[in-house]
Amino acid sequence: MHQVENLMESQAEGHHADLQAALRHIITSGGKRIRPTVTLLVGRMLGAAQDKLITLAAAIELLHTATLVHDDLIDGALLRRGIPTLNSQWSPGATVLTGDFLFARAAKLAADTESIPVMSLFSSTLSVIVNGEISQLFSSRCQADRQGYYQRIYAKTASLFETSATCAALISPVTEETIQTIRTYGFNIGMAFQIMDDVLDFISDPSKLGKPVGSDLKQGLITLPTIYYIENHPEDEMVQQILDGHCPHYEEEIQSLVERIRNSPSIDQSIAEAERYVNEAFLCLQKLPPCPERTHLEELTLYITRREL
């Protein structure tokens, strides 16, 4: 992982000093590095060449980092993981351009793998992520649509987890069947990861979360815990307002609804759904030969539903 981070940081060498400083700030601001970890473990398990694997993992994490830079600007977020975001220090134009630079360098690293299937999947994943963000921006607020929720979290999160795993398989000497098994694994851990993020938005300590509890609801985003609450409590007056397309506006209304959701069975139901995705991911791993990397992937998969921010 140190090699991955060093390669990421080197992408700004020879460019503007502020770009170099921005990239250092972003890389040292923390992050769990789960996506490149998945890439490294899958590739090592399947016999990928080490140099290409390091390059691919850096490309994946740079792509993820670029999306975060743009997301923070779109959301007006001043902190991420308790650390000031780039857009809290720079102008919107400079922040956008930095995100663009990161996208470009991520694409260059993906091309350095010399794998056309990797480059194709990489570019299509970026399209999925951007289309998901645009759809969210232009869609009506407070949409309690389960299918729409799954589509949104696939675009936002699961697509890149899927790509992190699949690209590692694509540069490995394995069959198409193994590639599809790995793709399914990545999809399932990605869906579980985002559902747990949405659960933690209700139940986590705000100081660890780095933002107020229930911030998604404040932005008019209806996530799985709220969907379960709506299904379980049709008599709730606030539920009726949401179903009519009206989000709660007042702070006391939002906090009251957040408290009702976090103290309801909706939280456990959402966690159980994340665990179902995790179980599907485990089934995928069971199809692969036992090895230390598979054991580590199993541990990482378990971590997804047991983590705290």
Q: Which of 147-161, 173-187, 190-204, 239-253 has the lowest mean pLDDT?
A: 239-253
Q: End-to-end alpha-carbon separation of the chain, Å?
A: 21
pLDDT-wise least confident of 35-49, 60-74, 292-306: 60-74
8 Å CB contact between 183 and 162:
yes
- Looking up tokens 């036992």, which residue turns up? 290
* Range with lowest mean pLDDT among 132-141, 142-151, 158-167, 200-209: 200-209
Q: Which domains does the chain have, with CATH numbers?
A: 2-306 (1.10.600.10)
Q: Is the pTM of this model over 0.85?
A: yes
pLDDT digits (tens, 9 = 90+) for 200-220: 999 987 655 556 677 888 888
pLDDT level of residue 154 (50, 70, 90 thresholds): very high
| pLDDT tens digits, 89-110 | 888 888 899 899 999 999 999 9
